[in-house]
Structure 1
Amino acid sequence: MSQQDDEKHEFDLRWAAEAEHKEPSARARMLAARWKENPPDPAPFRADPGPVAPRRSSWVSTAVVLGCVAAVILLLGYIQTRSPY
């Protein structure tokens, strides 16, 4: 594009941004028309999440994982000592 086209394009964007009245998007117009006939039920901005179960300590999870790893190591060692090869 030429310099003149860039300036004209920039002017158009500035003019559009400074407009007093902006037309709503197609989705906004569609929802406005739909809600005029059938308004939506009121809903809170954020609903209460409800009771939350207490989380187990990270130490419990770590102990369970390490216990499983130790059990697998012991099982593999037992299998290796029992094999004839």
Structure 2
Amino acid sequence: MPEHEQGDQQREFDLRWADGAEHKEPSARARMLASRWKHNPPGPVPFRAGPEHVGSRRRSSWISTAVVLGCVAAVIVLLGYINFRAPY
């Protein structure tokens, strides 16, 4: 049996062995959050943001889009000016 196939079978065996474990240790993030929440539990969070947050996000996305497009246009104009002024 080629060596890479043996490695694949060993990895598959290890995954099946790990998935079949009776006790699974939580991730580091889960342990950190559990420790933090034990002393200071989080408050309720709505599933969706209220309408006051939606408008500001939409407005800021248009502003950022305008800034990006303005920068791209400025670079195009600058490169055209440099190309126009360059001696041939």
Normalization by structure 1: what TM-score?
0.48
Q: Which structure: greater helix fraction?
A: 2
